[in-house]
Structure 1
């Protein structure tokens, strides 16, 4: 009986101690700098969420993201994981992981309601959709080494100290992208030229031959997506411009972004389509930020990436540029002065001050 009382006492003491630490000593953050993502907020309380279970799930997510010493426990977890057993230091594959992306559905939801109606009215029916699906699969079969219907789980591949996202691709994603671009072309004035530029990921250039079975080829998906665009949308093909320069480090080793050099070659491809003269690279100021650890490192915390000596290099074009930033979706009144490059900003925020400047 005494043992039972002791067990209950110890259990309650642990619960109350952790509760005290959680509510009175823990620091509340909205963003995790280590993981490069937004942390779960405390959910709003209402009767609907209580009965649906949404409130309980929200509280669970909040506690998981904010419990005391969370970063220290995570660091311990990754330390133990990397020293467990015998590991291949040249190659690693982390399944069911992917870096956070912009989300085409979020972009589509930002188009005005009447514009969405127009876009949906143009959406292909079941027969046309089946033909589109067949066309995408055919493009895969026709590509060298492509395998129609290949299923690749979301994951991060690490080869020789470089992290890459495995590319699965889907006809559904291609149709959604084309639908968004076509919707903008439909509602924008004809005097505005609409361009479409699909950015390949690092695995299109740096994945060794023996590991290509883990990732679908990207070129056929890009071409199949461009084939669904309206005739008056101009596609920009960056692969042919970038491929000859792949030995020049076009992508960051620890991040899903390309480097300033990769972006420059894509800019040259755009200039060809837009009939513009690109600024020569040697006329730009080269700036390097190091050491740099990007989004893919913080996703997997692999030691091979930590020791990769990655750095963020960007190029500042000559001349002075005026940038107007409109907050909250406003297009008139009170623009905020901004910059193209913030040389003293943290990490990828050097470009325009971040994704949401």
Structure 2
């Protein structure tokens, strides 16, 4: 056998040209060098993207050169990161890799189970880690189901993908401790403000409540019992606005985004109609609004899952322009007394940031002066679900104040009293209304004190003089309450034990 192999190798050597291995190696080397050279040239001449639509993030920028960063190793590291982020055709390659990854997994009945996937952290609205199918407290009341056409659902990380929709399951079930805390916090505002301020509360159900057929109802807990429980715990003087029924009646319409955790402006409009009934107002017909659209929106849930079903089913963002004249002013963080003229709609918003068309994103405070002269002034306390609801109020109030409960820095009770505000609306999605941190933020707003931001003092160079030691970031008269007065001395509400399931990571959009 050895002799036969030796003869075969000898015969092959005679048949093949002596330079065959050299030619093959040269071709391989030439191909590799050519490809590297081609991509190197493309990386220099092709325009550099600044945002990844697929990953919904800003890409690394070319760092500025300095001797200090070079010797510290930071410059070369940042250059490497820049070229990695702006590699030619990187977006398509990442998308292709994600599609290949989706082919993995184990299918059990009609669910595909993936390991890993999206982050389990929560959003700034309090969207929690969801429960695996069938886990959690049982409830005797079920959510309304949609017609079942046999479409298969799929767990992707910590969300459920069904018919091109990403859904975050609700996991409170029969545990109403956070609902008790939320209702008590709203009631405390009535106790502090009295009957001079009419208070409303809206709890928004989320997409999962209206999107699933009966066979998938067990992956989430029904939200209506929790909403009804909160409303039942409110002081009789606090008006709980029922928007659940009208959203359920219109659930076949485009009320929620498929790739993002928010509701749409259409969903907010139906809620606005119900609010008008509670506030003794006449809603403006939808046909009277000017409608504009931001196309090709891939939102937060797509960013987390990078699922191809969602990528192939992009959203669009409709927004409705009110005809009532208004002037809006925004107040930035650490500048609570400095108004900047703004618009209620950020027309420049596009792509992954399209939802920011509403109010320009999350800001501590927006004040809106309108052409309405009826003496009614309303302040709305919200998280980002309230952004697309706020513009509808312009039609009915002389002044509208929009406060983000996460970023407002003044004492809210004093602010309401000093500005003659006579109506107060709390609007939160159901996850936020059952999240300890969100509830604590609303509670803290009541009597919090503003502490001016003092930037760190850099050591002056030899050519600069050091600033005076007693120099302040803001005049002393602007510290304290909304008009520079000392805030109320009332004690804040006692802290309650928070459910760790509903903590979030305070990430901004």
Return the TM-score normalized by structure 1.
0.63
Counterpart among 154, 158, 161 of residue 155 in structure 1: 158
Counterpart among 206, 217, 238 of residue 233 in structure 1: 238
* Structure 2 residue 268 is matched with structure 1 residue 263: yes
* Structure 2 residue 362 is matched with structure 1 residue 355: yes
Residues 230-309 of structure 1 correspond to what in structure 2 (within 5 A)?
A: 230-309=235-314
The change in CA–CA distance for 1:266 and 1:67 in structure 2 (over 3 A counts) is: same
Kept after mapping to 2: 8 A contact 1:167/1:217: yes
Equivalent-residue separation in structure 1 for 2:316 and 2:212 (angstroms): 20
Equivalent-residue separation in structure 1 for 2:167 and 2:302 (angstroms): 10
Q: CA deviation at 1:343?
A: 2.4
Aligned-partner SS, 2:255: coil
Equivalent-residue separation in structure 2 for 1:279 and 1:87 (angstroms): 49
Residues 59-70 of structure 1 correspond to what in structure 2 (within 5 A)?
A: 69=84
Q: Give the match for residue 191 of structure 2.
A: 186
* Structure 2 residue 343 is matched with structure 1 residue 339: yes
Equivalent-residue separation in structure 1 for 2:113 and 2:235 (angstroms): 38
Q: Give the match for residue 124 of structure 1.
A: none
Q: CA deviation at 1:269?
A: 1.0
Kept after mapping to 2: 8 A contact 1:98/1:155: no
Q: Give the match for residue 22 of structure 2.
A: none
The change in CA–CA distance for 1:202 and 1:103 in structure 2 (over 3 A counts) is: closer
The change in CA–CA distance for 1:304 and 1:275 in structure 2 (over 3 A counts) is: same
Q: CA deviation at 1:76?
A: 7.0
Aligned-partner SS, 1:290: strand
The change in CA–CA distance for 1:37 and 1:197 in structure 2 (over 3 A counts) is: farther
Kept after mapping to 2: 8 A contact 1:97/1:155: yes
Aligned-partner SS, 2:250: helix
Equivalent-residue separation in structure 2 for 1:93 and 1:295 (angstroms): 21
Q: CA deviation at 1:342?
A: 2.0
Kept after mapping to 2: 8 A contact 1:182/1:230: yes
* Structure 2 residue 227 is matched with structure 1 residue 204: no
Q: Give the match for residue 468 of structure 2.
A: none
Q: Pick the structure with more helix per residue.
A: 1
Aligned-partner SS, 2:217: helix
Residues 207-222 of structure 1 correspond to what in structure 2 (within 5 A)?
A: 207-222=212-227
The structure with higher relative contact order (CA 8 Å, sep 6+) is 2
Aligned-partner SS, 2:191: helix
Q: CA deviation at 1:240?
A: 1.1
1:47-92 deviation digits (Å, cap 9, x = unpaired): xxxxxxxxxxxxxxxxxxx89947969757634311336879x966
Equivalent-residue separation in structure 2 for 1:230 and 1:351 (angstroms): 32
Larger radius of gyration: 2
Q: CA deviation at 1:219?
A: 0.5
Kept after mapping to 2: 8 A contact 1:99/1:296: no
Equivalent-residue separation in structure 2 for 1:33 and 1:176 (angstroms): 39
Q: Give the match for residue 167 of structure 1.
A: 170
1:164-205 deviation digits (Å, cap 9, x = unpaired): 111112423312322332233333353222111111000111
Q: CA deviation at 1:142?
A: 4.7
| Residues paired across the two proteins, number | 261
* Structure 2 residue 79 is matched with structure 1 residue 81: no
The change in CA–CA distance for 1:185 and 1:36 in structure 2 (over 3 A counts) is: farther
The change in CA–CA distance for 1:188 and 1:329 in structure 2 (over 3 A counts) is: farther
1:190-246 deviation digits (Å, cap 9, x = unpaired): 322211111100011111111111011110010111222222211111111112211
The change in CA–CA distance for 1:197 and 1:100 in structure 2 (over 3 A counts) is: same
Q: Give the match for residue 100 of structure 1.
A: 123
| Uncovered stretches (5+) of structure 2, i.e. residues with no partner | 1-50, 59-80, 128-136, 145-156, 365-509
Kept after mapping to 2: 8 A contact 1:99/1:295: no
The change in CA–CA distance for 1:315 and 1:233 in structure 2 (over 3 A counts) is: same
Aligned-partner SS, 2:216: helix
Q: CA deviation at 1:313?
A: 1.4
Aligned-partner SS, 1:102: coil
